[in-house]
Amino acid sequence: MKNIKIAFWGVLALISLLWVVADPAVFEASSVFGLRGFMMQYSGVLAIGCMSFAMILALRPRWPEPWLGGLDKMYRLHKWLGISALIFAVVHWLWSEVPKWAIDLGLLARPERGERPELTNPIAQFLSGLRDPAEGLGEWAFYLTVLLIAVALLPRIPYRWFFKTHRILAAVYLVLVFHTVVLTTFSYWISPLGIALALLLAAGSFAAVIVLFRRVAAGRQVSGTIVELLQFPGVKVLESRIKLQPGWPGHQPGQFAFATSDAQEGAHPYTIASAWDPANPEITFIIKGLGDHTSHLAEKLSIGQKVKIEGPYGCFTFEDGAKRQIWIGGGIGITPFVSRMKYLAHARTHQPDAPPQVIDLFHTTTDLDEDALARLAADAVEADVRLHILIDAKHGKLTGERIRTEIPNWRDASVWFCGPVGFGDAMRTDFAAHGLDIRTRFNQELFSMR
């Protein structure tokens, strides 16, 4: 979380600094209309800057993933940037419209317009001739952006509609690039701000085209065939085992992948629940019926069906060098721990002399399925992991205090959490209050792509 906060605030600070350097005359503004032009430029640059970075992250690039802590953290940053772009766009629109409303209401006097300086630069002259269409298209693009980002942020809207409408943002972004190029103060383009803005617009436009043509991460996709489907009705879980075609690079326990079984529905992210074996190229997903799509997967999937798998992604890989680890899996958040246990069981067989690692796994759930719990217990035995199962109705809620009571030397351990975000945040806060260095010893999967 720390690095994505640094990245987010760093983007805003850098754009702001470059803008002040490009237009220091803002500090000499002495009236509302004198300030209006500066604020429209500033809010517009911030809005398109945030949207450009968000568009780049939509390509799911590999290079920032290690520093940001995984694609799950990158998507959190993508979301923050999208919301910020919306806020700055609204501010930009308000600076444009509110002074006009104030004039109509008699609250402000209409300023006298002097003659605009004659443009001698042919590029500036060309751009000036495009002002009217740029303003008109930009206004409609703004309204559409507000609507589309609202759709993206409302969880009640089905994922398939989010998937379809979110791509439209790429086309809207290209319209806003045109709006920006035409209406940005021309002198900015020969300043460091202009250079940075030009690079961002170019990169964002490239990303938008890739999104529009559905070529995001095309080189990281392989085909697969469903070879086994197991249902666990008590916990509303479906386990799907998929045989992969050549091309999958392998994965580490705790990583996730995008799976597409219906092109209209689009790709959904699922944590991988199997260890990688090159001799047997298969991948397993454990999927809980939580939404409109996952709740009906058991009816839609069939053995022999072709699916598309993309990945792997994520840095929730348990590799921290700690001799003792505490795992906390809330509900379907147990999945990465299942994958890791299968990996450890394989390692115990093939590397019997490897130094042992002491691990306690706390699994808390509101649902009960004896077959699922029996499989989990068997995995724990094979991996030499101490398993603590807590059924909410029977044992109550899992708390940090209960974990510390079970594990007196918890201060020597690293904590790995996967489950509901609110539950994880509460655990993080609780352990921080008791002295755990959460920056280095508390690892949380932010498995939310919206």
Q: 312 preceded by cis ω (within 30°)?
A: yes
Pairing of strands 442-444, 306-313: unpaired
Give residue 112's pLDDT: 74
Mean pLDDT, residues 5-34 taken together:
93
Mean pLDDT, residues 169-198 taken together:
96
Count other Cβ atoms within 10 Å, centred on residue 123: 10
Give residue 448's pLDDT: 67
pLDDT for 280-307, tens place per residue? 999 999 988 776 677 788 888 999 999 9
Give residue 308's pLDDT: 96
Q: How far is CA 259 from CA 36, 109, 123, 305, 311, in A?
A: 48, 59, 47, 12, 9
Give residue 41's pLDDT: 96
pLDDT for 218-273, tens place per residue? 999 999 999 999 988 887 889 999 999 999 999 999 999 999 988 888 888 999 99
CB neighbours of 357 closer than 8 A, spacing ≥ 6?
Answer: 322, 323, 324, 325, 344
Residue 309's φ and ψ, nearest 5 degrees, are -115, 135
Q: Half-sphere exposure of 219 toward its Cβ, with a 13 Å CA cutoff? A: 5
Nearest residue to 364 (alpha-carbon basis) of 340, 386, 394:
394
Structural domain spans, the chain? 2-212, 219-313, 324-444
pTM (two decimals): 0.88
Greatest CA separation for the chain: 85
Give residue 157's pLDDT: 75
Mean pLDDT, residues 1-12 taken together:
92
Question: Distance between CA atoms of 375 and 381, rounded to whole angstroms?
Answer: 10
Pairing of strands 324-330, 414-418: parallel
> Fold identical between 2-212 and 324-444?
no
Residue 120, pLDDT above cutoff 90 = no
- Adjacent-strand bridge partners of 231: 238
Percent share of the chain, pLDDT over 90: 62
Question: Distance between CA atoms of 75 and 78, rounded to whole angstroms?
Answer: 5
pLDDT for 134-156, tens place per residue? 999 999 999 999 888 888 877 77
Which range of 175-179, 235-239, 349-353 scores highest in mean pLDDT? It is 175-179
Report yes or no: 242 and 226 within 8 Å, Cβ to Cβ.
yes
Three-class secondary structure of residue 125 per DSSP: helix
Mean pLDDT, residues 356-378 taken together:
88
User: The domain 324-444: what is its CATH number?
Assistant: 3.40.50.80
Residue 160, pLDDT above cutoff 70 = yes
How confident is residue 35, by pLDDT bands cut at 50, 70 and 90?
A: very high
User: The domain 2-212: what is its CATH number?
Assistant: 1.20.120
Q: Which fold has domain 219-313?
A: Elongation Factor Tu (Ef-tu); domain 3 (2.40.30)
Count other Cβ atoms within 10 Å, centred on residue 69: 23
